[in-house]
Amino acid sequence: MKFLKYNWLYLLVSGILLAVSVFSLVKWGLEPSVDFRGGNLWEISFEQPLDQEKWMGFIKEKPEVTETQKIGTGNWLIKSSHTDLETKNSWEKEIEEGFGVFKELRFESLSPSLGKELLIKTLVSIVLAILGILIYVSFRFANKSFGVCAILAMLHDSLILLGSFSLLGHFSGVEVGSLFVTAVLTILAFSVHDTVVVYDGIRKLTRAYPKASFEQVADLAITQTLVRSINNSMTIIFVLLALFLLGGETTRYFSLALLIGTVLGTYSSTFVAVPLLSLWEKVFRK
Amino acid sequence: MRKKTSSILWLIFLLSLVSFFIALPKGFEKEIVFRGKVRKISFTRPDFNFNLGPFKIRKKLFLHKGLDLAGGVHLVFLAQMKELPEEGREVALASLRENIARRVNLFGVSESVVWVSKALNEHHLIVEIPGEIDPDQAVALLGQTAQLNFRLEAELPPEATMSATVYDLFSIETDLTGANLQKAEVRFDPNTSKPQVGLVFDDKGKELFGQLTENNVNKRMAIFLDNFLLSAPVVKEPIKDGQAVISGEFQLNQAKQMVSQLNAGALPVEIELIRQERVDPSLGADSINKGVKAGLIGVILVALFMIIFYRLLGFLAVLGLIIYTLLSLALYKLIPVTLTMSGVAGFLLSLGMAVDSNILIFERMKEEVRAGKPKLIAMELGFGRAWDSIRDANVCTLIICFVLFNPFNWSFLNTSGLIRGFAFTLGLGVILEMFTGIVVVRAIMRSFYKPKGEIKK
């Protein structure tokens, strides 16, 4: 199959996705979760149906509350800034008087200073992880072009993943916390490993057919690895899809991030990493 | 070759059997309706007790559930030690931990944990109490600063001694408190070399303690920590130099524990609650149900996909996957791994990745067959050639798992349970996958995969 004939198409698709992602990231950024900014997260369930209008009115009176949202069948999520326990206890009383008995399912509270610390630690782990991957890639590919293109493909995946969560954050209030970062790092690894398999194919075939052009070798390598790449991703996508659709609330967006990342990683290893390499060959070899 | 393969196969079979036994739940009971009759299935797995030569292995095997699955409270306190001298901080922190652990034990939850974690330039004390407890009460009880005070024996009328509590008995309060105690330390009796507890008072404490001991020779003086009686030694003689020794039939660890508790009062550390997470057990149970359902459906989809796409080969890969799952569950119980919802996600992700090595091998095999090699040779070549790719594919994931899991507890990296849970199960999964994907599936294939046109050896 002549995959590289449509190079312009792959680069166009990636270009559009990247442009949208960067636009969204610059314009709206990411919505940090309680993990990073500090604050309270409270999930309660009422024994009796709730008068939603009255509830919204009640919430509006509390300047600390940033958001309330119905999740699942009848649970309510209340997000607020970091408060002391007394404030929370007084709210509990007011809610019980105004809306009846309720049950606390989950309460998370984090001071802003700890949030800042977690953010710093997260940034450090991102830097370390990327450093580790860089060392590995440079060790694995003595040839500079392979290493650089693998890293570019990895950046492509992470930027679009960040961009999609920026859009999700802007339009449906999805927040990013430490679990999201975990997902991004996992995807970095996945993206590189998928690319390595394709590049390995190219290297071996270059040795086997020294006279063939780069395009011919690359097309053959893609043909040989594409089925494996897609099949492997399919199995990962199956479990992640099940987890996203049926799993609990805590890991819903975590599995979505992994899911988007897996699809991106699979796409980029063939349709970004290889075209980039061929571009590199064209620009630097002539 | 055949012989070697079949012995590997037996080993794998044995390993799977042991894993299956470990992975089984402790007790199991279910009612099923079969042809209109209700039948009860129940069984109990015996505990893991056996003797291995001189070693007695006694292990209670169960899946340790993290807070988000079991429900409970997770509290992070910031230890404020700016006012303490630099050299006393280590001791103060250890004592704080000891004292908080003692308070946590009051809740009687056996799986509670208390540990100190070094943050960037602060110290955090982390408490986890699983199960159903009153979180407000826990916060209030644990958040107090330790208070150490010395009390004297009261003269009780003889008829009251029977019903008297330690608080009645030692009802005379003194001015001597933990603030006057400079430090406590373990010492050894120079004559008998038995462990003792030494107390060192500051100047004001020296004076107070001197007076108290002078007036109360041959009486008992009690030391209370948070209203909890630590010790009530008898004053043998007046002590004027501010250096006291509590001697008794101490074991070394008992002496150490008492020293920690005394120091908790001597070097009181104020703590501030900076993070709390409470999860109701019902929410945890709900997460487990959903996670198990999602996992099962995901695995069934993977199995179906493999069988439809690779037929017999796929079926063998699924066998490998089942062994992989059994081994993972057994390891979770043996290590033991505390499972959180993110850990379950890590396990499921590794499961999805686990068939990757099989797919790589099968695709290589197909290539070799296309190149005209007989199937059996293609199989061996496939395994050999795929190894490089399998190793490479997993190195990156392992690097990331290492950073996320932070095995050396580096203070500049995260210590969050959710992230570590994910990293650990994923990392363990990747390592196990290399074993099942290559060793196990190869052994199974060598024994059961007999394509037509086999070359006689």
Asked if A113 reaches chain B (Cβ–Cβ under 8 Å), the answer is yes
A189: nearest CB among B274, B396, B413: B396
Range in A277-281, B37-41, B222-226 with the lowest mean pLDDT: B37-41
Asked if A106 reaches chain B (Cβ–Cβ under 8 Å), the answer is yes
- Domain check: are A146 and A270 in the same one? yes
- Percentage of chain B modeled with pLDDT above 90: 11
* Structure confidence by residue, pLDDT tens digits, B61-104: 778 888 888 888 999 999 888 777 777 788 888 888 888 888 88
- Domain check: are A76 and A130 in the same one? no
Query: In this structure, are residues A238 and B305 in contact, taking their beta carbons and an 8 Å threshold?
Result: yes
Average pLDDT, chain A: 90
**Cβ separation B341–A251 shorter than 8 A:** yes
- Percentage of chain A modeled with pLDDT above 70: 99
Q: How close is the nearest chain A Cα to the Cα of B41, in Å?
A: 28
Asked if A138 reaches chain B (Cβ–Cβ under 8 Å), the answer is no
Q: Which residue range forms the structural domain that includes residue A80? A: 39-110
* Structure confidence by residue, pLDDT tens digits, B357-393: 888 888 888 888 888 888 888 888 888 877 877 787 7
Residues 168-227 of B with CB under 8 A from A: none
The per-residue pLDDT for B357 is: 84
**Cβ separation B392–A197 shorter than 8 A:** yes
The per-residue pLDDT for B457 is: 42
Amino acid at A167: L
Task: Establish how many alpha carbons lie within 13 A of residue B32's alpha carbon, considering only the half-sphere containing its beta carbon.
Answer: 6
Asked if B62 reaches chain A (Cβ–Cβ under 8 Å), the answer is no
**Cβ separation A239–B302 shorter than 8 A:** yes
Domain-ending residue, one of A110, A129, A151: A110
Domain-ending residue, one of A110, A126, A156: A110
**Cβ separation A136–B396 shorter than 8 A:** yes
Residue B244 CA, distance from chain mean position: 39
Query: Sorting pLDDT into bands at 50, 70 and 90, what band is B48?
Result: low
Residue A49 CA, distance from chain mean position: 36
Mean pLDDT of A138-156: 88
- Domain check: are A71 and A197 in the same one? no
| Residue B300 to residue B308: CA distance in whole angstroms | 12
The per-residue pLDDT for B452 is: 61
Q: What are phi and psi of B34, to 5 degrees?
A: -125, 120
CA–CA distances in Å: residue A246 to residues B68, B71, B243, B418: 17, 20, 66, 19
Q: What are phi and psi of A156, to 5 degrees?
A: -55, -50
Mean pLDDT of B110-114: 82
Mean pLDDT of B254-283: 86
* Structure confidence by residue, pLDDT tens digits, A38-90: 999 999 988 888 888 888 888 888 888 888 888 877 789 899 998 888 888 88
The per-residue pLDDT for B429 is: 92
Average pLDDT, chain B: 83
Of A21, A28, A33, give the one whose Cα is nearest residue A176: A33
Of B5 and B282, more confident: B282
The per-residue pLDDT for A149 is: 92
Domain count, chain A: 2
Query: In this structure, are residues B453 and B374 in contact, taking their beta carbons and an 8 Å threshold?
Result: yes
Which residue does chain A place closest to B124, by CA atoms? Answer: A114
| Residue B209 to residue B190: CA distance in whole angstroms | 24
For residue A79, list its beta bridge partners. Answer: A41, A67
| Residue B434 to residue A61: CA distance in whole angstroms | 57
| Residue B2 to residue B421: CA distance in whole angstroms | 41
Mean pLDDT of B237-257: 85
* Structure confidence by residue, pLDDT tens digits, A6-31: 889 999 999 999 999 999 999 999 99
The per-residue pLDDT for A286 is: 59
Query: In this structure, are residues B155 and B170 in contact, taking their beta carbons and an 8 Å threshold?
Result: no
Query: Sorting pLDDT into bands at 50, 70 and 90, what band is A219?
Result: very high
**Residue B409: left if φ>0, alpha if ψ -120 to 50, beta else—which one?**
left
State the CB neighbour count (10 A cutoff) for residue B299: 21
Mutate to test the interface with A, among B122, B396, B401 (most CBs of A within 10 A): B396
A236: nearest CB among B68, B135, B353: B353
Q: For residue B342, which residues of chain A lie inside 8 Å, CB to CB?
A: 179, 182, 250-251, 254
- The DSSP line for B275-307 is EEEEE-HHHHHHHHHHHHHHHHHHHHHHHHHHH
- Domain check: are A59 and A125 in the same one? no
The DSSP 8-state label assigned to residue B109 in this structure reads -
Residue A2 CA, distance from chain mean position: 32
- Domain check: are A136 and A102 in the same one? no
| Count of pairs with CB atoms under 8 A, one residue in A, one in B | 211
- Domain check: are A80 and A212 in the same one? no
Residues 265-284 of B with CB under 8 A from A: 273-280, 282-283
Q: What is the CATH number of the domain that holds A237?
A: 1.20.1640.10
Mutate to test the interface with B, among A37, A114, A209, A238 (most CBs of B within 10 A): A238
B305: nearest CB among A122, A238, A258: A238
The per-residue pLDDT for B456 is: 45
pLDDT at B301 over 90: yes
Of B342, B346, B347, give the one whose Cα is nearest residue B287: B342
Range in A56-70, A218-232, B25-39, B189-203 with the lowest mean pLDDT: B25-39
Which residue does chain B place closest to A249, by CA atoms? Answer: B287
- Domain check: are A229 and A281 in the same one? yes
- Domain check: are A95 and A190 in the same one? no
Of B267 and A148, more confident: A148
Residues 6+ apart with CB under 8 A from B95: B146, B260, B261, B262, B263, B264, B266, B267, B269
Query: In this structure, are residues B62 and B69 in contact, taking their beta carbons and an 8 Å threshold?
Result: no
Mean pLDDT of A111-140: 87
- Domain check: are A188 and A274 in the same one? yes
Of B66, B70, B113, B130, give the one whose Cα is nearest residue B340: B66
Strands B48-52 and B55-59: antiparallel
Query: Sorting pLDDT into bands at 50, 70 and 90, what band is B293?
Result: very high
Mean pLDDT of B138-167: 80
The per-residue pLDDT for A167 is: 97
Domains and CATH numbers, chain B: 2-24+285-448 (1.20.1640.10), 72-279 (3.30.1360.200)
- Domain check: are A43 and A22 in the same one? no
Query: Sorting pLDDT into bands at 50, 70 and 90, what band is A218?
Result: very high
| Residue B297 to residue A12: CA distance in whole angstroms | 36
> Coil, strand, or helix at residue B114?
strand
Of B103, B131, B93, give the one whose Cα is nearest residue B279: B131
CA quadruple A107, A112, A115, A116: dihedral, nearest 10: 180
The per-residue pLDDT for A30 is: 93
**Cβ separation B345–A89 shorter than 8 A:** no
pLDDT at B6 over 50: yes
The per-residue pLDDT for A113 is: 86
B419: nearest CB among A182, A194, A234: A182
Q: What is the CATH number of the domain that holds A77?
A: 3.30.70.100
Residues 15-74 of A with CB under 8 A from B: 43
The per-residue pLDDT for B270 is: 85
pLDDT at B196 over 50: yes
- Domain check: are A183 and A280 in the same one? yes
Domain-ending residue, one of A86, A110, A134: A110
- Domain check: are A271 and A137 in the same one? yes
